[in-house]
């Protein structure tokens, strides 16, 4: 069995101190000449730094906890893959924590904190102020992704849901739709509340006094059922805005089962711009969440909080875009 190469041997080969080797592999600033000698020596000797030893010396695990509750939604596996890629690029490993329907963040967060993660990124769940305070006492930064709370001590990055929903309302009104409907997501989520408020406020501002509403749960099945409920009305809607894409896809299929043509008889708009939205069978017009930019900002805030726990918390909102496809009548010609 080959003898394990130590940092002492790398230091001797590179002509530097052992502490310089540690600084290079901990990402701490050293001269470029010393860094290159250390890396060359490590490659020659086949040296691999000891992550556990580095954790003990720096008191950082280089592990980020990622908390998700709706991993079955197509949007969040898409987000997860991007987070994994970006975190690994900055030498952070990920511990994924998921909550079942019977669990809440209150059940998950204490478990996550036991692993001494450097930071927590919380998506698709709501964080209480009490748990945020516990995390702050432990010195573990938390950043919310695609969620926001009223607590001024919690940082968050989310889509500009009010603006996005207003764009959806404008798209339907500008193309002559008169009987509009909203399919809501889970009532206790900030995303749903903000999207519904943005949609209704823009309709009212443009003189629309009434519209239909159906309750969904951010699932394909609930979007399908909500659309069936709306289409059973004696005056069914000619334009439907759904709180997310997967419900919009369900609504499209419900419309088709009635013998109606999507984008002619009934128009549909979603929110998220998941990859499925562009599939040829759906061609869903939607409001994009600019996921790459949202992740970039989330990681920037996380790194600031790791380096300086006293840095001010903030909420950043990223404007989305109207992605025009064929599910809305007349929109492509506007």
Secondary structure class of 1 (helix, strand, coil): coil
Query: Tens digits of per-residue pLDDT, 18-48?
Result: 888 877 876 667 899 998 999 999 889 888 7
How is residue 116 annotated by DSSP?
T
Is the dihedral angle over the CA atoms 101, 103, 104, 108 positive or is it negative? negative
Q: Name the CA dihedral angle for 310, 311, 313, 316, rounded to a multiple of 10 degrees.
A: -160
- Cα separation of 55 and 62, whole Å? 7
CATH number for the domain whose boundaries are 7-58 = 1.10.260.40
For residues 291-298, give the mean pLDDT.
96
* Whether pLDDT at 137 is above 70: no
pTM (2 decimals)?
Answer: 0.80
CATH of 63-159+290-318, one of 3.40.50.300, 3.40.50.2300, 3.90.1150.10, 3.30.420.40: 3.40.50.2300
Per residue in 161-219, pLDDT tens?
A: 999 999 999 999 999 999 999 999 988 888 999 999 999 999 999 999 999 999 999 99
7-58 with 161-289+322-333: one CATH topology?
Answer: no
Question: What is the Cα–Cα distance from 190 to 156, expressed in whole angstroms?
Answer: 12
Domain 161-289+322-333: assigned CATH number: 3.40.50.2300
Residue-wise pLDDT for 93-106, tens only, equals 899 888 765 556 66
- Alpha-carbon distance of 120 to 61, in angstroms, equals 12
Using CA atoms, how far apart are residues 160 and 297, in angstroms rounded to an integer? 14
């Amino acid at each position: 069995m080959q003898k394990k190469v130590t940092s002492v041997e790398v230091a001797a080969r590179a002509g530097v101190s052992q502490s310089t080797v540690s600084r290079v592999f901990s990402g701490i600033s050293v001269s470029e000449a010393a860094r290159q000698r250390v890396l060359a020596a490590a490659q020659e000797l086949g040296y691999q730094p000891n992550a556990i030893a580095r954790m003990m010396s720096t008191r950082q695990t280089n592990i980020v906890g990622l908390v998700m509750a709706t991993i079955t939604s197509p949007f969040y596996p898409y987000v997860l893959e991007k987070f994994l890629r970006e975190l690994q690029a900055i030498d952070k490993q990920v511990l994924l924590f998921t909550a079942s329907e019977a669990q809440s963040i209150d059940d998950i967060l204490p478990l996550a904190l036991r692993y001494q993660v450097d930071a927590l990124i919380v998506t698709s769940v709501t964080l209480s102020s009490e748990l945020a305070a516990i995390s702050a006492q432990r010195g573990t930064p938390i950043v919310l992704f695609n969620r926001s709370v009223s607590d001024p001590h919690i940082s968050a990055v989310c889509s500009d849901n009010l603006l996005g929903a207003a764009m959806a309302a404008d798209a339907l009104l500008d193309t002559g739709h008169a009987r509009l409907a909203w399919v809501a997501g889970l009532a206790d989520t900030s995303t749903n509340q903000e999207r519904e408020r943005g949609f209704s406020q823009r309709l009212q501002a443009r003189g629309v006094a009434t519209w239909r509403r159906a309750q969904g749960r951010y699932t394909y099945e609930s979007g399908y059922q909500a659309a069936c409920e709306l289409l059973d009305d004696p005056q069914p809607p000619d334009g439907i805005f759904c709180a997310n894409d997967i419900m919009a896809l369900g609504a499209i299929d419900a419309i088709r089962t009635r013998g109606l043509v999507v984008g002619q008889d009934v128009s549909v708009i979603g929110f998220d711009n998941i990859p499925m939205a562009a599939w040829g069978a759906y061609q869903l017009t939607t409001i994009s969440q600019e996921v790459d930019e949202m992740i970039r900002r989330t990681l920037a805030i996380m790194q600031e909080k790791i380096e300086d726990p006293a840095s001010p918390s903030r909420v950043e909102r990223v404007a989305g875009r109207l992605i025009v496809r064929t599910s809305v009548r007349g929109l492509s010609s506007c």
